[in-house]
């Protein structure tokens, strides 16, 4: 057994000591089963088909300490606002090193029956609700990181929007990794339920403060969209470049519901985004978009799955990558059309911009179609900046670096424009431009 795998098993014993009476709950039995699953699977290697382009050996070789209980930190509300999205929001939940920080959070009033809080508090009040939600996550493929997350779950966001409720302002979830004195890991679990005819917008953001030892962020976000619900979900990752991030997103869509998911990946040494949606009710619609940047020796791996399990559903997917220096990108997009999912309409596109001769992209769009009355398309492109466009801008007095940044942002802007929040568009534009200037 890998020595780091053994360290997680030892850390689980520390977790059990910190749980007090909670260790007797069925939820903890779920933790134990998940740990057994992780122990059986172990960390993936490049011999695994789903990981053959992504070598996580540096992550697997690092011994991480789990932050089992909230620890003191020096982050002020002003600092938290300065490092994350600071636009208008109905709620702002801030977590530091995997634990809810009420002193940095702002909880507003959004309507009767709407529950917005942290998972640890919900577990104390009604662990059964959490257990049922987590058990609903389909185990479509062996996933050691999701199993590890469930084994160590302690905190995260819990959002429940009842039938017919419409939340006008976004709910902002800010996850801060503070500079640790040793390598640490955070296993966050975010559970989001949006009822029938309800609407909500979620901004899920991961940032770092300071430097120091590497952090490993291993979040799992589950969204359940009820009949005719609308959920907009924006995931922003710009943690320190020495860290690791393996994030799992899973949405289940009922009849005539809509889930719009956009992922922005700008930081960490190794990032793996597992983004999945099951269109389980007739007439459901899902958009799944992303922008990823890799500079230096960064590696960003996006694995997506759109599972059409009901008829008359639609999906659109657009992922754009910008790769510079020796940065490496991986895109594996899988569209599944089940036998009963007639009248499916699905489009997938992966476009990549290479800014250097040493950058690498491995793109693998996939269609698995078991129905006969469908419209499905997919494609991938790889290109470089146009010499003519660069010449045009430079002829008007714009320097080479700025001209490259302008054209590169124009390439990524198509995804940013899909966001319905002007303040968030401005914030992401600033983040992208800052990263493109490096």
pLDDT in tens, 26-39: 888 888 888 889 88
Task: Give the burial class of 325: count Cβ atoms within 10 A of its Cβ; 0-12 exposed, 13-18 middle, 19 or more buried.
Answer: middle
**Strand locations in 156-282, DSSP E?**
157-161, 171-178, 184-186, 189-194, 199-209, 215-217, 220-225, 230-238, 244-253, 258-265, 270-279
Span 217-237, mean pLDDT?
A: 97
**pLDDT at residue 82, as a whole number:** 86
Task: Provide the mean pLDDT of the chain.
Answer: 89
Task: Give, in order, the Cα–Cα distances in Å from 349 to each of 232, 292, 318, 320, 399.
Answer: 20, 14, 5, 8, 32
Cα–Cα distance, 292 to 158 (Å, whole number): 27
- Give the pLDDT band (50/70/90) at residue 21: low
pLDDT in tens, 99-136: 999 999 988 777 778 999 999 999 988 888 888 888 88
Task: Give tens-digit pLDDT for 180-197.
Answer: 678 889 999 999 999 999
d(CA 210, CA 357): 32
Tell me the three state secondary structure of residue 72. Answer: coil
pLDDT at 63: 86
* pLDDT reported for residue 435: 83
Does pLDDT of 385 surpass 70? yes
CA 104 to chain centre: 22
Residues with Cβ within 8 Å of residue 426, at least 6 apart in sequence: none
Arithmetic mean of pLDDT, 410-415: 89
Quickly state the pLDDT bin for 17 (edges 50, 70, 90): low
**Residue tagged 């982050």 (tokens):** 75
Residue 373 C-beta-side C-alpha neighbours within 13 Å: 8
Two tokens at 124? Answer: 């104390």
Residue 14 has a pLDDT of 63
Predicted local distance difference test score (pLDDT) of residue 199 = 97
At how many degrees (to 10) do helices 422-436 and 400-416 cross?
140
**Cβ–Cβ under 8 Å, residues 93 and 158:** no
Measure CA of the first residue to CA of the last residue in the chain; give whole Å. 40
- Residue 388, Cβ neighbours under 10 Å: how many? 7
What pLDDT, on the 0 to 100 scale, is given for residue 308? Answer: 97
- The answer to whether residue 314 scores a pLDDT higher than 90 is yes
pLDDT value for 74:
84
pLDDT band at 3 (very low <50, low <70, confident <90, very high): very low
CB proximity list for 72: less than 8 A, separation 6 or greater: none
pLDDT at 23: 66
| pLDDT score of 411 more than 50 | yes
Beta bridge partners of 302: 273, 331
What pLDDT was estimated at residue 1? Answer: 40
Residue 259 has φ and ψ, to the nearest 5°, of: -125, 120
User: Model-level pTM?
Assistant: 0.93
Which residues lie across from 335 on neighbouring strands? Answer: 306, 367
Q: What is the pLDDT of residues 41-94, one digit of tens each?
A: 889 999 999 999 999 999 988 888 888 778 888 888 888 888 899 888 889 999
Contact 397, 424 (CB under 8 A): no
Which tokens go with 258? Answer: 């809509």
For residue 117, give both structure tokens.
């809080």
């Amino acid at each position: 057994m890998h020595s780091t795998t053994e360290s997680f098993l030892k850390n689980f014993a520390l977790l059990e000591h910190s749980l007090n009476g909670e260790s007797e709950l069925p939820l903890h039995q779920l933790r134990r089963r998940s740990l057994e699953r992780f122990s059986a699977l172990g960390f993936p290697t490049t011999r695994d088909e789903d990981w053959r382009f992504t070598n996580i050996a540096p992550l697997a070789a690092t011994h991480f300490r789990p932050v089992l209980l909230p620890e003191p930190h020096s982050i002020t509300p002003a600092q938290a606002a300065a490092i994350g999205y600071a636009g208008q929001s109905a709620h702002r939940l801030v977590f530091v090193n995997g634990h809810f920080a009420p002193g940095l959070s702002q909880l507003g009033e959004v309507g009767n029956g709407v529950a917005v809080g942290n998972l640890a508090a919900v577990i104390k009040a009604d662990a059964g609700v959490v257990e049922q939600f987590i058990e609903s996550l389909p185990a479509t493929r062996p996933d050691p990181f999701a199993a590890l997350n469930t084994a160590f779950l302690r905190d995260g966001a819990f959002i429940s929007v009842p039938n017919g409720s419409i939340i006008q302002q976004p709910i902002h979830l800010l996850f801060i990794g503070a500079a640790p004195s040793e390598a640490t890991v955070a296993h966050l679990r975010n559970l989001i339920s949006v009822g029938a005819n309800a609407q909500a917008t979620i901004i899920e953001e991961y940032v770092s403060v300071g430097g120091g030892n590497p952090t490993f962020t291993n979040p799992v976000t589950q969204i359940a969209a009820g009949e005719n619900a609308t959920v907009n979900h924006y995931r922003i990752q710009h943690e320190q470049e020495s860290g690791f991030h393996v994030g799992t997103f899973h949405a289940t869509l009922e009849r005539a519901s809509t889930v719009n998911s956009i992922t922005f990946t700008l930081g960490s040494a190794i990032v793996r985004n597992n983004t999945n949606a099951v269109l389980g009710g007739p007439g459901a619609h899902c958009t799944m978009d992303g922008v990823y940047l890799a500079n230096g020796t960064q590696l960003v791996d996006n694995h997506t799955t759109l599972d059409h399990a009901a008829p008359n559903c639609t999906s659109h997917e657009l992922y754009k990558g910008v790769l510079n220096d020796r940065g490496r990108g991986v895109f594996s997009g899988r569209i599944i059309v089940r036998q009963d999912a007639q009248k499916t309409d699905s489009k997938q596109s992966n476009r990549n911009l290479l800014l250097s001769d040493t950058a690498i992209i491995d793109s693998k769009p996939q269609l698995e179609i078991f129905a006969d009355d469908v419209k499905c398309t997919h494609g991938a492109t790889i290109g470089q900046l146009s010499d003519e466009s660069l010449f045009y801008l430079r002829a008007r007095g714009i320097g080479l670096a700025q001209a490259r940044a302008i054209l590169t942002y124009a390439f990524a802007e198509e995804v940013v424009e899909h966001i319905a929040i002007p303040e968030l568009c401005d914030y992401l534009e600033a983040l992208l431009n800052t990263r493109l200037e490096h």
